Structure 1
């Protein structure tokens, strides 16, 4: 027995030694990793308010920006929060796939849409924060991609709320218009965010924020209206609904995240001290991941517990139509992003020629 214990301890020690060698291995793999810069050393367009240091140099090879995933800079935490969030969603996806027939049950497709759209927005966000520092055009392009992912997530939220969470009287009021309006608002949200980014430094900050926040706020209010209606209509009996605590959680997490998205706190209170950790956008990411995980769990519980209701409310053809509308919405948002990238490219070319 003692020999076996010593062998296991020896193996553990070897594994720990290998882990300790990871930073050295990364350094050897990327010996040319450059140090970060202060805000005065990068173009004004790349500067974030109240963030004074941790900026990566522009115009490096793609390898540098990919490997900067393991470097300390002012976007490191933003990247990892959504990378880890995507990993959590993948784990949840694998767990649900053990009990949910995503391929054979049409009524599981709204839940599948939410899972795919959640992975999309987190992956696009991580890519934007990791790779957008390469150049001004890349900055625009990757954040436009991020907005496409956000729009897809808005659609995924709308379809699970309408399909699983809606009460019968609310469904009767909005049936036939809910999902088309949700798709339209997703596209308008993507357009508003892209245009606000395009006019980033030619409009006052509050005007850009209004252009980005108002369409997204309208989309959120519409997409979540079945949940709000359900909370109000079943308030006395909410304690007996297993999904309701998760619906309340997703609303609380989302509204909290919106605060940190619209306001640069706490870095406004501590300028230069949140360059690596503690930025409001990092808190926004964490709270949005928590919102998404609550939303997935609530939708799964509704899928299990409210089946008689949604089978009666939705015919067999609605779920395939909603999935097709999800794809169509993604295509339209991608075209919007491509159109805005073209405008940015023309603007940059004209500016370069005028120098």
Structure 2
């Protein structure tokens, strides 16, 4: 008996020794992270007005930027807001796939396009805010990718609004023109955002904002016009339609997010106080994610509750096939635009290095 007791005590001592080694093993597995820097210590293209500290040092290894997901810096909240949003959309997609036949029902394809485009813009935004601090080249390249996601999401919004939310009397233009125009405006938004980012430090801030905001505003007005028309048409009895409150919610969330995208509040009132939390872009992220979730729910309700109407309006299902083709074409066009602008950035940096 004494021998057995001594053996167990010995095993316990060994286990305690192993537990004591855990902190050292973690330090070896995850090396110490470089500290963050002030705005004066990083190149100008990394700096955000009124954000004075919390910048990650450039020219580190990729491992550092991936691990900075768990570090406190001025992009942490921007990364996590859209990362969590992407995971929620992914979970929602898995949940819907249990009841919606995305493969066999072409009338479900517009909803599928919205889910894919929503996940894409949230995931691309996460990558951009997480990895763009590595260098000037990567800063531009990853945000160009972000703008591809924006264009895809605009198109995804347009297709569910036009297919599910549209009313019978929405006939102020030929139906065949709506989605091609939406695709063209999505590409124009991507181009305008990329161009504004490329000339970030050579254009006056308001000129850059106009180049980015105006195409996106035009796209939003066009893509959401069926929803505006539907809300207006159902007044004052909108409460009878279960999807309309969620459509109203997505409009309210989007307009609120647009305000914080264009206005640097509250950091302009408290320079240096919002380096980690409270930036306008963080509020923009949260409100836009809420807009997306409200939009997905509204579109799902429309898919379920308005089938007789949209099958009557859009025929035998050839429309969704065309819309999916346009979606793929837009993805290719915006990807090529982003690659071209990335090449221009690389060439510009190379010429500047030669001069030095």
Could you say which TM-score interval applies, normalised by the shorter chain? over 0.9
Counterpart of 1:350 in structure 2 is 351
Counterpart of 1:168 in structure 2 is 168
Counterpart of 1:212 in structure 2 is 212
> Compared with structure 1, are the counterparts of its residues 25 and 225 closer, same or farther at alpha carbon in structure 2 (3 Å cutoff)?
farther
Question: Does 2:226 match 1:226?
Answer: yes
Kindly report which structure 2 residues correspond to 1:94-109, keeping only aligned pairs within 5 A, or say none.
Answer: 94-109=94-109
Structure 2: runs of 5+ lacking an equivalent: 1-20
Q: How many residue pairs align between the two structures?
A: 335
Return the alpha-carbon distance in structure 1 between the equivalents of residues 213 and 63 of structure 2: 34
> Compared with structure 1, are the counterparts of its residues 22 and 219 closer, same or farther at alpha carbon in structure 2 (3 Å cutoff)?
farther
TM-score of the aligned structures, taking structure 2 as reference length: 0.92
Question: Does 2:324 match 1:334?
Answer: no
Cα displacement (A) at 1:45? 1.0
Question: Does 2:294 match 1:289?
Answer: no
SS at match of 2:35: coil
- Judge which range, 63-72 or 164-173, deviates more: 164-173
1:83-141 deviations in Å (ceiling 9; x for gaps): 00011111111111111111110000000000000000000000000000000000000
SS at match of 1:350: helix
> Compared with structure 1, are the counterparts of its residues 44 and 247 closer, same or farther at alpha carbon in structure 2 (3 Å cutoff)?
same
Return the alpha-carbon distance in structure 1 between the equivalents of residues 136 and 236 of structure 2: 54
Counterpart of 2:185 in structure 1 is 185
Cα displacement (A) at 1:48? 0.3
Cα displacement (A) at 1:23? 9.2
Counterpart of 1:11 in structure 2 is none
* Larger gyration radius, structure 1 or structure 2: 2
Kindly report which structure 2 residues correspond to 1:178-327, keeping only aligned pairs within 5 A, or say none.
Answer: 178-315=178-315, 316-327=317-328
SS at match of 1:325: helix
1:299-337 deviations in Å (ceiling 9; x for gaps): 000001100000011122110110111010000000110
Contact 1:162 1:171 (C-alpha < 8 Å) held by counterparts: no
1:279-303 deviations in Å (ceiling 9; x for gaps): 0000000000000000000000000
> Compared with structure 1, are the counterparts of its residues 23 and 54 closer, same or farther at alpha carbon in structure 2 (3 Å cutoff)?
farther
Return the alpha-carbon distance in structure 2 between the equivalents of residues 26 and 58 of structure 1: 24
Return the alpha-carbon distance in structure 2 between the equivalents of residues 236 and 24 of structure 1: 66
Cα displacement (A) at 1:30? 2.2
Return the alpha-carbon distance in structure 1 between the equivalents of residues 310 and 125 of structure 2: 33
> Compared with structure 1, are the counterparts of its residues 27 and 124 closer, same or farther at alpha carbon in structure 2 (3 Å cutoff)?
farther
1:21-60 deviations in Å (ceiling 9; x for gaps): 9998765432131000000000111100000000001111
Structure 1: runs of 5+ lacking an equivalent: 1-20
SS at match of 1:208: helix
SS at match of 2:96: helix
User: What is the Cα-based RMSD across aligned positions, in Å?
Assistant: 1.5
Kindly report which structure 2 residues correspond to 1:59-74, keeping only aligned pairs within 5 A, or say none.
Answer: 59-74=59-74
Return the alpha-carbon distance in structure 2 between the equivalents of residues 22 and 88 of structure 1: 33
